[in-house]
Copies of this chain bind each other. A is one copy, B any other.
């Protein structure tokens, strides 16, 4: 348990000491609300939000210990940060700005009060960085492990909301940043865990892997991209965030629109650091981009008429386009046209890689 790894000798406090109301008060007592849209945060039956004639967006997800995260290598502060950021990312993927966050936590009695504080510190850091108010949440006992449920609320002008289904033939498909890094970070962390289990005196040196490990442990959501859209008067025709890997998201956009999408392998952005790691593991870098997930970059489409506005934006990569005929296809570097699958690419690329 990482939360017991600290070197302090002060005994850790038990959660039961405080009782339910005391605990929630302790964890949330110093939370201040900052957004004009938050009329009332924590402390009543519900939070009260005012929306200035705008439209609200709401998203929620659940994370389960040892299913979605592993505390043996995932620090609680980072987990708090990530739990918040992944929900903000869903709001940005609608072309909205996140305003409020609610966090429900269930923990077993193996967690100390200090552990919960660490987690909350991460949530607060994310809220601070993204300008989001924490306005509610429940903290309860679990029978086993930690279970998290985050809910984010955001806002957008109605005509600026971007759905998954709006892409049309010839629209350009654009991805931000680079892909596969979070998955490469996961590969490193899992290898370090194995090494540590085999030899508890092992001192990991993650310095060469700093970039990919940070992409896994401290992902950022692309609020900056949404702000850029607003400033440059661009409304994408469709958008989704990359949580499950590029393949899965391209298929979602294609199916929602009823049209096809063609993606070019050579256009898929993968960082040098990511490629170096995946090569170490004998995995094709593009496999990590297609299937890795957890990058929280944005995948969006724009009308051809907006091409000039976006073509020179650093970090925007045009990777393909919509087509009249349905289906999501990848044009490989060998100029083969392959249907994209939400899973199974590992097999394809790893086999390809082993060819002489």
A246 to chain B, nearest CB (A): 16
Pairwise interchain contact A240-B45, C-beta atoms closer than 8 A: yes
- With A46-B154, A60-B136, A147-B147 as known contacts, state yes or no: A67 contacts B142, CB within 8 Å: yes
Indicate if A241 sits at the interface (CB-CB under 8 A): yes
The answer to whether A180 has its CB under 8 Å from any CB of chain B is: no
CB–CB A46/B59 < 8 A: yes
The A interface is mostly helix, strand or loop, or mixed, namely strand
A151 and B151 form a contact (CB under 8 A): yes
- Size class of the contact patch on chain A: 35 or more
B49/A56 in contact, CB under 8 A: yes
**A36-74 interface code vs B (CB 8 A; 1 in, 0 out):** 000110011111111101011111111111111000000
Q: Mask for A236-255, Cβ within 8 A of B = 1, else 0?
A: 00011100000000000000
CB-contacts of A206-241 with B (<8 A): 239-241
In the complex, A61 Cα to B42 Cα: how many Å?
13
Asked if A53 contacts B53 (CB within 8 A), the reply is: yes
From A10-18, A111-119, A158-166, A310-318, give the one contacting chain B: A158-166
| Residues of the B chain whose Cβ atoms lie less than 8 Å from the Cβ of A47 | 57-59
Q: Which residue of B lies closest to A59 (CB)?
A: B46
Complex interface: chain B residues within 8 A of A45 (CB): 59, 90-91, 93-94, 164, 239-241
